[in-house]
């Protein structure tokens, strides 16, 4: 079994399954699942993300609705009014507001306006709460992608010790909840944790989501552990003026100890959009009273 977990291939496989299921949904419901993405402003990275999400949505046989607001003129009230219109739109199953929002807009207030049944990012407090108490939720895409890859690699995760680096609402906390739901023993470490290497060394599973380039060194990894690197960090490349992407884990060092590891790029990243499509399909099925065709 190869040591490198190929997130690209895993994501392509999931996207193909979602596409088949979206076709089946259309035959039953008389319409394709629909994903609405809202972008406020011109942030170049956000524009790239929104474009690739729209393209992936169409490729999955779903409807894509893109809404762009001008950062200079749009107000938070207008943004919330747009969210409410999409909440009421029968053709829209998922609503995603691209973050970060421009200065002066409150991410929390905007996310709170999304109908939790259409919150395909899983950021609404209703979905965070449902995940915490073990009810059917829409789960944040990145940690969901990580848990899918872990289960594929390891099967039953029961009793394994998982160490999650980072405690953000987007990655660390939901990741820990998902691992707990799989009966792992979970340790969450963060910037105030004492003796980080010793804590991480306990992990049969290590999920790194800190946003610090190559912070996790090879000797922090217990021999045989499975390492999931969520980090995406742009650092100077070998050639002058060029940059490259690295994760939160020093890949070559960690790979020497790990039984399996995700690379950056090509690991967790591609899974995030695939799970977004999966969440849109799940939201569409739940709203239409149909069973989840992927059984995920
Ligand atoms: P946040 O900045 O919101 O959270 C970072 C977490 O890491 C915090 O909990 C922080 O601790 C902890 N941390 C920071 N520095 C240290 C340190 N030196 N030692 C221990 N813990 C530390 O980041 P996100 O969770 O949003 O993202 C994390 C990484 O994942 C980023 O690189 C981001 O780009 C990437 N990412 C990748 C995605 C993908 O699709 N692959 C999607 C989302 C994120 P504290 O709480 O104490 O401050």
State whether the beta carbon of 168 lies less than 6 angstroms from ligand 1: yes
- Ligand 1 site, residue 176, Cβ cutoff 6 A: no
CA Rg value for the chain: 19
Q: Please check the confidence at residue 1 and state whether its pLDDT lies above 70.
A: no
Closest CA to 182 of 143, 235, 237: 143
Catalytic residue from among 17, 53, 118, 222: 53
Ligand 1, atom 1: closest residue by C-alpha? 168
- Report residue 190's pLDDT band, with 50, 70 and 90 as the boundaries: very high
98 as an active site residue: the answer is yes
Phi and psi torsions of 153, nearest 5°: -80, -40
Please indicate whether residue 149, judged by its CB atom, sits closer than 6 Å to ligand 1. Answer: no
Instruction: Write the residue with the smallest CA distance to atom 48 of ligand 1.
Output: 191
C-alpha 192 to ligand 1 mean position (Å) = 13
In this prediction, residue 292 carries a pLDDT of 84
| Residue 199 to residue 184: CA distance in whole angstroms | 15
Could you give the domains of the chain?
30-116 (3.40.50.10860), 141-269 (3.40.50.720)
Please list the residues that pair with 249 across neighbouring strands.
216
Q: For the whole prediction, is pTM greater than 0.95?
A: yes
pLDDT band at 217 (very low <50, low <70, confident <90, very high): very high
In which band, very low, low, confident or very high, does the pLDDT at 2 lie, cut at 50, 70 and 90?
low
Respond yes or no: is residue 242 known to be catalytic. Answer: no
Whether residue 7 has pLDDT greater than 90: yes
Other residues' Cβ atoms within 10 Å of the Cβ of residue 255: 18
Average the pLDDT over 251-259 and give the result.
97
- pLDDT higher than 60, residue 296: no
Q: Is the shortest distance between the CB of 209 and ligand 1 below 6 Å? A: yes
pLDDT at 26 over 70: yes
pLDDT band at 293, cuts 50/70/90?
confident
pLDDT of 35-83, one tens digit each? 999 999 999 999 999 999 999 999 999 999 999 999 999 999 999 999 9
């Amino acid at each position: 079994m190869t040591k490198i977990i190929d997130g690209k291939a895993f994501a392509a496989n999931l996207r193909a399954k979602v596409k088949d299921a979206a076709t089946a949904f259309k035959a039953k419901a008389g319409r394709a699942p629909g994903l609405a993405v809202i972008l406020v402003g011109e942030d170049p990275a956000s524009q790239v993300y929104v474009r690739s999400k729209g393209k992936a949505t169409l490729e999955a046989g779903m409807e894509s609705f893109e809404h762009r607001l001008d950062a200079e003129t749009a107000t938070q009230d207008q943004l919330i009014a747009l969210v409410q219109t999409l909440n009421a739109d029968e053709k829209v199953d998922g609503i995603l507001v691209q973050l970060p929002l421009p200065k002066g807009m409150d991410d929390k207030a905007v996310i709170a306006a999304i109908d939790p049944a259409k919150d395909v990012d899983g950021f609404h407090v209703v979905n965070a709460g449902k995940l915490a108490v073990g009810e059917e939720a829409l789960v944040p895409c990145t940690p969901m992608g990580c848990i899918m890859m872990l289960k594929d690699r390891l099967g039953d995760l029961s009793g394994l010790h998982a160490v999650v680096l980072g405690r953000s609402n987007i990655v660390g906390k939901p990741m820990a909840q998902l691992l707990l739901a799989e009966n792992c023993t979970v340790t969450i470490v963060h910037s105030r944790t004492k003796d980080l290497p010793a804590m991480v060394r306990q992990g049969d599973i290590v999920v790194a989501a800190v946003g610090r380039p190559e912070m996790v060194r090879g000797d922090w990894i217990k021999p045989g552990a499975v390492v999931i690197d969520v980090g995406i960090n742009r650092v100077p490349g070998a050639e002058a003026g060029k940059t490259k992407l690295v994760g939160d884990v020093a890949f070559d060092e960690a790979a020497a100890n790990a039984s399996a590891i995700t690379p950056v790029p090509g690991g967790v990243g591609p899974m995030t959009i695939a799970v977004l499509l999966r969440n849109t399909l799940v939201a569409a099925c739940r709203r239409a009273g149909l069973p989840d065709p992927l059984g995920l």
